[in-house]
Amino acid sequence: MESMWLKYTLLVEQMTEDLFVAEVLGSPYTLGWVEPQIEILTTENGYDYAENTEGPVVAYLFEPKQDSEEEHVARLQAYISRWNGQVQVKEVEQVAEENESWKDEFREVRVGNWWVAPSWTDPQLLADAEHVLWIDPGAAFGTGYHGTTQDILLLLQEMDLTGKVVFDIGTGSGILSLFSARNGAQHPVWAVDINPESEYQVQVNAANNELPEDAVRVVIGDASDAEVAAQLPPQADLILVNIGGDENVSMLPLIRERIAPGGQIILSGIVDWNREAVLAAFEEAGFQKETERHSDEWVTVLMKNTAVNHFVTTV
């Protein structure tokens, strides 16, 4: 029996487009493409076409159909509710897995000394690649196309992760967790996401990379919630947060509590016009900027904990 997928057509207000795309790229949904709405105009010569520069853009998302369509749509509606009406579902349709034209949207991409590639990539294309991180966007985000993900990967490649306890907050498909697990971080790497489907997606991609089952442990929920935080180790050497500027700041209490003395954090998903406010909050909490990277309007910052240790051991 052929596997089925759900294809969602969404209308996204243009003021929300960049943030929406950035977050979806880190979610278990596969982003196919985004395009402007086209208006058909009547002219003296017949018809003409024009982009609607004021109305919403059209975004196409995909995910494997594992439950009833109603259950999938209910989860999608819950997911997009955070945008307060700026994102609307226009159409839902089922497509066969054999209809693989969407895979053309996802190709191998080089990030520093590594390649990130879906499992259907022709092996000959990467025959000379020294390092390949295998991530199927059919299971979740993972191509590494977005600048925030690439910039974090570039920073991680410059770090010695050997034996480090790593938290990955907003893990999505686990691309950053899996990279850390493959590069010496202590197993398990702790991956946190609010989407309950992330656990399955991370497992798929861990298998793609032939990692043991205990390489990454997924915790479902909001990391700032006490019950979720209680499932994490009491201390981390490195914390990765790629969920947006304000969301980075909302994680500051957890980060201050759990980061080891001299530990490092990588913050991303920050837009350049919010950079100063985010950095100020973390600097006030005792973090010192070590370096930062920019991709278009997106900012990624590596910071070090220079404050007095906030970790408290209970007896």
Work out how many domains the chain is built from and give that number: 2
CATH code: domain of residue 82 = 3.30.70
- 136 domain-assigned: no
How many other β-carbons are positioned within 10 Å of the β-carbon of residue 129?
Answer: 15
Judgement on whether residues 87 and 199 belong to the same structural domain of the protein: no
φ, ψ (nearest 5 deg) of residue 63 = -160, 150
**pLDDT of 10:** 92
- Binding-site residues, in ranges, read 149, 170, 193, 242
- 116 domain-assigned: no
**pLDDT of 29:** 86
**pLDDT of 28:** 80
Residues 182-224 have pLDDT tens digits of 999 999 999 999 877 788 888 989 999 999 989 999 999 999 9
What percent of the chain clears pLDDT 90, i.e. is strictly above it? 49
Average pLDDT over residues 78-89: 91
Residue 158's domain comprises: 147-305
CATH code: domain of residue 250 = 3.40.50.150
Separation CA 111–CA 185 (nearest Å): 19
Structure tokens at 36: 């402007």
In the structure, what pLDDT confidence band is assigned to residue 300 with cuts at 50, 70 and 90?
very high
**pLDDT of 309:** 54
Judgement on whether residues 158 and 274 belong to the same structural domain of the protein: yes
Q: Is the pLDDT of residue 144 over 90?
A: no
- 188 domain-assigned: yes
**pLDDT of 314:** 41
Q: ∠220-223-229 over CA atoms, to 5°?
A: 90
Rg of the chain on CA atoms, in Å: 20
Judgement on whether residues 96 and 169 belong to the same structural domain of the protein: no
Judgement on whether residues 94 and 151 belong to the same structural domain of the protein: no
- 85 domain-assigned: yes
Average pLDDT over residues 104-111: 77
**pLDDT of 45:** 30
Q: Residue 95: which of 7, 8, 29 has the closest Cα?
A: 7
**pLDDT of 197:** 76
Judgement on whether residues 166 and 242 belong to the same structural domain of the protein: yes
Least confident interval from 133-142, 163-172, 287-296: 133-142
Judgement on whether residues 238 and 181 belong to the same structural domain of the protein: yes
SS3 147: helix
Separation CA 209–CA 55 (nearest Å): 42
Q: Is the pLDDT of residue 140 over 80?
A: no
DSSP 8-state secondary structure symbol assigned to residue 237: E
Judgement on whether residues 62 and 203 belong to the same structural domain of the protein: no
**pLDDT of 99:** 57
Average pLDDT over residues 22-26: 79
The pTM assigned to this predicted structure is: 0.69
Q: Residue 270: which of 130, 166, 151 has the closest Cα?
A: 151
**pLDDT of 43:** 39
**pLDDT of 97:** 61
Judgement on whether residues 161 and 246 belong to the same structural domain of the protein: yes
221 contacts 228 by C-beta, under 8 angstroms: yes
Which residues does 235 contact at the CB level (< 8 Å), separation at least 6? 165, 258, 259, 260, 263, 311
- Binding-site residues for S-adenosyl-L-methionine, in ranges, read 149, 170, 193, 242
